[in-house]
Structure 1
Amino acid sequence: MAAQSRSSAYDCIVIGAGIQGSFTAYHLSKLRRRTLLLEQFLLPHSRGSSHGQTRITRRAYNQDFYTKMMAECYQLWAQLERESNTRLYRQTGLLLLGPEEDPEFHSTWRSLVQNRVPCQYLTAQEVQKRFPGVCLQLGEAAFIDQTAGVLYADRALRAVQDLFCSFGGAIHDGEKVVDIKPGSVVTVTTTSGVYQAKSLVITAGPWTNKLVAPLGLRLPLQTLKINVCYWKEKVPGSYGVPQNFPCFLGFHLNRAEHHIYGLPSNEYPGLIKVCYHHGNEVDPDERDREPKTPGLQEIPLLSDVIRKYLPGLEPKPAVIEHCMYTNTPDENFILDHHPSFQNIIVGAGFSGHGFKLSPVIGKILCALSLGKAPDCHMEPFRLQRFPKQLKSAL
């Protein structure tokens, strides 16, 4: 993407042009702040966490604060659709499956009810009648988050970046950051230039620790390579648009430790995306190398789930792609000032569920970079929950 400006002085520099950094830059530019968005790869690229055609969006969370944040996110996604004149969302509903006695299953249902989100509880028999392609097991049930659906991810990322540029922002892609010098004015050196700004926001995904380590921080971030799997329908159309098949999310299906999620056919005709919400730890710069140890074997686990719960799909993946997660220990985000440099902000650890929340995340990071208090509950996202990392920065 061609740069709009080669000036070296800005109100804010944002490092990382994934969905979080792009939304941060978008909000800053709407406030008429001179903003530079830096990206180490040429855009568009598939090396991080924001590529691909689809993501699930939902209000169904067992943490009440996410359910509340998503109410504003839906409004901001709709606003982006109007501003870009682009369809970014398709409402499908989200079918949540799990053991009736599972604590997370119950707390997620309770959060929807307490926040008056349109939803419906279903027995195993009701699921079978409404969605013949889904087979629950003994002792399992389901409920539907009726507000949920599919976000068109690549399209959304492009819309945010295009609007950012139309508001006067500058994107410099193909520029890797090689040095950050803190101060009342932050100096950022890349492979192509030197830039200065009053504030800096780091949204570098799997590369976050490589940027903040020289600044005295070592965050508890685990970078994971995720298999994005697509499974063939035995009868074309049975899990797609003609059947109004929803997105789905499974809690501990077949005793899986992590969520299993899926989306109706979109990327490839006749193929359904079904994935395991975890992967193998890798260095993001070495993700294409074969691992020395086999690590997590989630494909056989997914195949077993397909056989039991989605018998209308072939139990062997037809296509496997890859994505990166950057997880925190509690899977809540890091949205905070650097403890020693208040004009350096870190947005990290989106743990595979940050895309849908990016309009509000960008708004929060924008506010922090301007020295303002965000208008939402921030405790779950503070760095102080990781005291060892704070000590290293002081």
Structure 2
Amino acid sequence: MSSSTNEFDVIVIGGGIMGSATAYQTAKRGCRTLLLEQFDLLHHRGSSHGESHTIHATYPEDYYTDMVFESSKLWREAEAEAGYRVYTSTPHLDMGPANGVNLQAFKAICQRNSFPVEALNPSAVAKKFSGRLSIPEDWIAVYTEFGGIIKPTKAVSMFQALALQRGAVLKDNMAVKDIKREEVRGGIVVYTAMGDKFRGRKCVVTAGAWTKKLVHSITGHELPIQPLETAVWHWRIKEGHEEKYAIGGDFPTFASYGQPYIYGTPSLEFPGLIKIAVHCGCLCDPDKRPWLPGRDLDSLKEWIGGRFLGLLDCSTPASTQSCMYSMTPDEDFVLDFLGGEFKEDVVIGGGFSGHGFKMAPVIGRILAELVLTGSADGVELKHFRIGRFDENPKGNVKEFADQVGFIESPN
């Protein structure tokens, strides 16, 4: 292509973690790359902000296990290039009813992949965590040394900085309104709401909760990706017990399977507070979200009281933050070509369903390879094709329950 400042090899639309990781990967491969973000860079209106996201490899779907391990390696490589850390290792603990299908599924997958796990009964949990954590008598827990916490905003910034170092161009406050195929010259043209026009040989759409809206405006096609607003809560550790749950010790990231599905991390971002939240939310329009609608926290408070032996103040959250998930019906990602008139010139990365952040480095690699070569090494992409919803509106068939809960908004 020509050297015009508005002409690029790859245009990435959406500057969250997935778009930033993709821009880094395409720039790393020597492509002239443009990253467009509709809001300010590092904004808090989507899914890629905040101070902690967990890493774990215990999935009931075996196609995620290798992706998590590769991402862990790629996180470390990016950190080494940047010169600072965004990823802190911790152990990880999953817990739930002994007959739970999800727990049994990922325990079997871990064993099949020679991924070491330790099954714990209630007395073993109490002993291992020295009275800091308790599970009911009819529950089990699965412990692994492989867990961790990613600092989201810092991680997005890291990939953007690395992309810049590799020659990428980053532009914020550039809301994209249309993408058209350029029939004469080839490639695509991206139009912004402010009247800017950028040409690219290829394009990657990583627009998060806005992916469905953008794809519909471009093609008229309805992608089954539904934005969902969720909340993160931090709870105060009672005085004198703060160090028991602090990062850097032996307390794990954790997940509790069942109703509700609950997850949390050791105390990290706010001294004396521990993050414990419910994996659920309200369906929303990302441009008209309710921003933390009122929710019934009674079941979460009861869970905290039962698991943490009275060492946390569960009367009311000390801090509440809002973010969004982009849900698919099967809670699996969309990593595929847009198709139609765009054929393989436009690639979609979306529908990360509240569990994609940890895999951003490998997703960035996959999207970069798809858009540049038409295929991605080492990953079976059949689970992530858009066409799976044509075959079955619910997507991939699974034998276990959905993990993310949907609650009705009072608004």
Q: TM-score scaled by structure 2?
A: 0.88
Which stretch of the first structure deviates more once superposed, 69-78 or 281-290?
281-290
Give the equivalent residue in structure 2 for 1:199. Answer: 202
Give the equivalent residue in structure 1 for 2:139. Answer: 140
Which stretch of the first structure deviates more once superposed, 234-243 or 355-364?
234-243
The question of 1:208 aligning with 2:183 is answered no
Residue deviations 1:102-140 (CA, integer Å, cap 9, x gap): 111011111112112232111110101111221101210
Give the equivalent residue in structure 2 for 1:154. Answer: 153
Q: Displaced runs of 4+ in structure 1, greater than 6 A?
A: none
Contact 2:232 2:322 in 1 (8 A): yes
Seen in structure 2, the aligned counterparts of structure 1 residues 386 and 211 have a Cα distance that, compared at 3 Å, is same
Contact 1:187 1:197 in 2 (8 A): yes
Residue deviations 1:137-183 (CA, integer Å, cap 9, x gap): 12101011211111122221111100000000000011111222134
Aligned-pair distance for 1:243? 4.6
Contact 1:266 1:272 in 2 (8 A): yes
The code of the aligned residue for 2:364 comes to G
Structure 2 spans left out of the alignment, 5+ residues: 394-411
C-alpha distance in structure 2 between counterparts of 1:298 and 1:72, whole Å:
38
Aligned-pair distance for 1:17? 0.6
Give the equivalent residue in structure 2 for 1:93. Answer: 91
Give the equivalent residue in structure 2 for 1:226. Answer: 230
Give the equivalent residue in structure 1 for 2:254. Answer: 248
RMSD of aligned residue pairs (Cα, Å): 1.8
The code of the aligned residue for 2:158 comes to A
C-alpha distance in structure 1 between counterparts of 2:280 and 2:236, whole Å:
22
**Counterpart secondary structure, 2:40:** coil
For residue 67 of structure 2, the aligned residue among 69, 72, 92 is 69
C-alpha distance in structure 2 between counterparts of 1:290 and 1:90, whole Å:
28
**Counterpart secondary structure, 1:28:** helix
The question of 1:283 aligning with 2:285 is answered yes
Aligned-pair distance for 1:385? 0.7
Contact 1:117 1:147 in 2 (8 A): no
Aligned-pair distance for 1:40? 0.7
The code of the aligned residue for 1:224 comes to L
Aligned-pair distance for 1:261? 0.4
C-alpha distance in structure 2 between counterparts of 1:52 and 1:66, whole Å:
24
The question of 1:112 aligning with 2:110 is answered yes
Structure 1 residues 210-359: aligned runs within 5 Å: 210-214=213-217, 215-234=219-238, 235-241=241-247, 243-252=249-258, 255-256=259-260, 259-288=261-290, 297-311=295-309, 312-315=311-314, 316-340=316-340, 341-342=342-343, 343-359=345-361
**Counterpart secondary structure, 2:35:** strand
Contact 1:227 1:275 in 2 (8 A): yes
Residue deviations 1:63-84 (CA, integer Å, cap 9, x gap): 1110111121111111011101
Seen in structure 2, the aligned counterparts of structure 1 residues 22 and 298 have a Cα distance that, compared at 3 Å, is farther
C-alpha distance in structure 1 between counterparts of 2:313 and 2:271, whole Å:
14
**Counterpart secondary structure, 1:158:** helix
The code of the aligned residue for 2:380 comes to H
Give the equivalent residue in structure 1 for 2:13. Answer: 15
Contact 1:118 1:147 in 2 (8 A): no
Contact 1:202 1:346 in 2 (8 A): yes
The question of 1:374 aligning with 2:376 is answered yes
**Counterpart secondary structure, 2:280:** coil
Which stretch of the first structure deviates more once superposed, 108-117 or 199-208?
108-117
Aligned-pair distance for 1:6? 8.3
C-alpha distance in structure 2 between counterparts of 1:140 and 1:289, whole Å:
35
**Counterpart secondary structure, 2:245:** coil
C-alpha distance in structure 1 between counterparts of 2:392 and 2:337, whole Å:
13
**Counterpart secondary structure, 2:150:** strand
Residue deviations 1:313-359 (CA, integer Å, cap 9, x gap): 11121110011100100000000001202211111100010011111
Seen in structure 2, the aligned counterparts of structure 1 residues 369 and 97 have a Cα distance that, compared at 3 Å, is same
Aligned-pair distance for 1:237? 2.3
Give the equivalent residue in structure 1 for 2:404. Answer: none
Structure 1 spans left out of the alignment, 5+ residues: none
C-alpha distance in structure 2 between counterparts of 1:73 and 1:139, whole Å:
34
Give the equivalent residue in structure 2 for 1:365. Answer: 367
C-alpha distance in structure 2 between counterparts of 1:389 and 1:93, whole Å:
37
C-alpha distance in structure 2 between counterparts of 1:129 and 1:272, whole Å:
21
C-alpha distance in structure 2 between counterparts of 1:84 and 1:327, whole Å:
31
